[in-house]
Structure 1
Amino acid sequence: MTAFTTRRTTARARTAAVAAIAVAGALILTGCGDQTKDDGAKSSDGASDSSAPLADKLPAEIRSAGVVKVGSDIAYAPVEFKDDSGKVVGLDPDLAAAMGKQLGVKFEFENGTFDALLTGIRSKRYDIAMSAMTDNKNRQDGVDPDTGKKVGEGVDFVDYLTAGVSIYTRKGDTESITTWSDLCGKKLGVERGTVSEDLAKAEAKKCPSGKKLTIEAFDDDQQSQTRLRAGGVDAASSDFPVAAYAVKTSGGGKDFELVGEQVEAAPYGIAVSKENTQLRDAVQAAMDALIKNGEYKKILTKWGAEEGAVTKSVVNGGK
């Protein structure tokens, strides 16, 4: 999730999206994710089925096992999180379950810290990573955004949504923050390894002497929200769907408020090893099938993410 130039999103109906998220929030109970695997939390009820129209597109070993192992930071409501019963719910799990029916397999989500998910693909712990992950060139090429040096072979992405990045503060205590430059002299909470952290680091370099931007990076977004709620930071940043959901649900809508416009609109992608092109193409075919049959739109609407809908799934569309 690396981005160094700020692009204002165009004609994003923030109020409508927040309202839709409020409806989704009223239908479910939120729960904090942990950082341990929950064997009982399966994302899909799409068990192997000989009638699955795209089953033959999968690699033979995955088709035989009947399972796609998914690495995900399951603490990022409404994209993926655990409800009070411990079940994995959200936008990504619903999309994965629907793809599973197309492919005749289960998508099983395993919880992990966000910044370790791509390493998990390299070590073959996961077949894919699906975790509100921004598709960009650095990730595609395996380049460290801080040093500019290559640190891995990179991954391919199957893109499925567009989302920007937002800043939010305690409700009624905005600290006059409306843009990223207003964060100079402030403390900002972010999730480690995300585009929010990259943007914060880039902004910190621009701050004038005596107005340092202090960045506090956490393992997951829930920790960042807790820090903001307690007054330990002046603001927090995360992807717009997540920030909007937090604003609507935390404290019954009394804890936080969005400030300014979302920036850096970019695609979310499902990460797949560059060595596994057959799995990548099968996932892309399944996502396209959902877009065409209308299931995709239903799922995005359920979670208040329809503003980020795409008309076609592409590979490596991030810049």
Structure 2
Amino acid sequence: MTASTTRRTTAKSRIAAVGAIAVAGTMLLTACGDQTDSGTKSSETSATKDAPLADLLPKDIKDKGVVKVGSDIAYPPVEFKDKSGKIVGIDPDLGAALGKQLGVTFQFENGTFDTLITGLRSKRYDLAMSAMTDTKDRQTGVDSETGKKVGEGVDFVDYFTAGVSIYTKKGDTQSISTWADLCGKKIAVQRGTVSHDLAKTETKKCEGGKKIAIEAFDTDLEAQTRLRGGGADAGSSDFPVAAYAVKTSGGGKDFEIVGDQVEAAPYGIAVAKGNDKLTKAVQAALDAIIKNGEYGKIISKWGVEAGAVTEAKINGGS
């Protein structure tokens, strides 16, 4: 989410099976190999072939074969559940591809967005991957609204770029095209996102007592429901999410995007401070799938090529 400390501000998986098969194949070969030098070498060779970057992982994660990923799984098309209940989207697909390189399964676990970094600190998750915008405040553990230190921060492996968009009910834009146009109106957003932060910042600039009425929800889907039902004049979320909502909600008849996206910034995979080995392993895996073309296929599949990156950077947000 986009350029705020809280941004999701900042937008899972058909490839997950591939990652699981790779892990299963590696485990099977290791278990079945003869307990001789030649058998061991054969197993190691096969494991390296199936998961060429497995040795970069911390030993405890490599031994478990699972990376626990905290994610707010209600943010289509980044991560969400399809009609069958399966977790799908950009992040799960990328997670499966990364897992294939590392020889582990990326296991997505649902949580509210504003608790994901806390989950990293408490070791509930190994990673947080949820359209989370890489910002200096998040890196250093500073609350963007108060400027106060609230934690030790996290490191990010940047994997996508997105800005924030405003959208309204289709055919009822009320002349809204910029954030300033929201003064005197009501906006529905997801709590703890860049959209939420932008609304709070913009309302302080409003003149004549025409403040922005802000309704913040646990999920972006709840905010969309509020707007769809007429309880707000506009909504805001990361561009990929807003574009997906415009395309799919009501068969494309519910919403329309107004104005240009703002606050373009990188999404990052968050890792707890001090876990440098895992950070570098994820970076290497991301670079590998960018190089072999798998990253591009996933990004194209979800129609978000404009946000693709060409290399995996650590803490590239500002």
AA aligned to 2:237 is: S
AA aligned to 2:154 is: V
Spell out the pairing of 1:128-139 with structure 2 (5 A cutoff): 128-139=127-138
Q: Give the structure 1 partner of residue 35 of structure 2.
A: none
Secondary structure of the structure 1 residue equivalent to 2:68? strand
AA aligned to 1:65 is: K
Contact 1:166 1:258 in 2 (8 A): yes
Contact 1:284 1:313 in 2 (8 A): yes
Spell out the pairing of 1:159-308 with structure 2 (5 A cutoff): 159-308=158-307
Spell out the pairing of 1:72-111 with structure 2 (5 A cutoff): 72-111=71-110
Secondary structure of the structure 2 residue equivalent to 1:290? helix
CA shift digits 1:66-101 (9 cap, x unpaired):
000000000000000000111100000000000010
Secondary structure of the structure 1 residue equivalent to 2:166? strand
Secondary structure of the structure 2 residue equivalent to 1:168? strand
Structure 1 residues 105 and 267 mapped into 2: Cα distance closer, same or farther (>3 Å)?
A: same
Count of aligned residue pairs for this structure pair: 285
Structure 1 residue 178, shift from structure 2 partner: 0.3
Structure 1 residue 3, shift from structure 2 partner: 4.0
Q: Give the structure 2 partner of residue 120 of structure 1.
A: 119
Structure 1 residue 305, shift from structure 2 partner: 1.0
Secondary structure of the structure 1 residue equivalent to 2:115? helix
Larger radius of gyration: 2
AA aligned to 1:124 is: K
Root-mean-square deviation over aligned CA pairs: 1.7
Distance between the aligned counterparts of 1:92 and 1:304, measured in 2?
14
AA aligned to 2:254 is: D
Distance between the aligned counterparts of 2:58 and 2:211, measured in 1?
51
Structure 1 segments unaligned to the other structure (5+ residues): 5-20, 22-27, 29-40
Contact 1:2 1:198 in 2 (8 A): no
AA aligned to 2:255 is: F
Distance between the aligned counterparts of 2:209 and 2:135, measured in 1?
33
Structure 1 residues 2 and 310 mapped into 2: Cα distance closer, same or farther (>3 Å)?
A: closer
Structure holding more helix per residue: 2
Secondary structure of the structure 2 residue equivalent to 1:198? helix
Contact 1:135 1:159 in 2 (8 A): yes
Q: Give the structure 2 partner of residue 310 of structure 1.
A: 309
Secondary structure of the structure 2 residue equivalent to 1:68? strand
Distance between the aligned counterparts of 2:217 and 2:137, measured in 1?
21
Superposition TM-score, scaled by structure 1 size: 0.87
Matched, 1:65 2:64: yes
Structure 1 residue 175, shift from structure 2 partner: 1.1
Structure 1 residue 275, shift from structure 2 partner: 1.5
CA shift digits 1:105-163 (9 cap, x unpaired):
00000001000000000110000000000000010000011110000000000001110
Q: Give the structure 2 partner of residue 157 of structure 1.
A: 156
Q: Give the structure 2 partner of residue 7 of structure 1.
A: none
Structure 1 residue 44, shift from structure 2 partner: 2.6
Contact 1:73 1:80 in 2 (8 A): yes
AA aligned to 2:188 is: G
Structure 1 residue 201, shift from structure 2 partner: 0.8
Contact 1:43 1:109 in 2 (8 A): no
Contact 2:14 2:93 in 1 (8 A): no
Secondary structure of the structure 1 residue equivalent to 2:232? coil
Superposition TM-score, scaled by structure 2 size: 0.87
Spell out the pairing of 1:22-41 with structure 2 (5 A cutoff): none
Structure 1 residues 307 and 2 mapped into 2: Cα distance closer, same or farther (>3 Å)?
A: closer
Distance between the aligned counterparts of 1:248 and 1:202, measured in 2?
29
AA aligned to 1:201 is: K
AA aligned to 1:179 is: T
Distance between the aligned counterparts of 1:133 and 1:100, measured in 2?
19
Structure 1 residue 210, shift from structure 2 partner: 2.1
Spell out the pairing of 1:43-62 with structure 2 (5 A cutoff): 44-45=16-17, 46-47=19-20, 48=23, 49=26, 50=47, 51-62=50-61
Contact 1:55 1:103 in 2 (8 A): yes
Runs of 4+ in 1 over 6 A off after TM superposition: none
Q: Percent identity?
A: 72
Contact 2:14 2:88 in 1 (8 A): no
AA aligned to 2:196 is: E
Secondary structure of the structure 2 residue equivalent to 1:278? helix
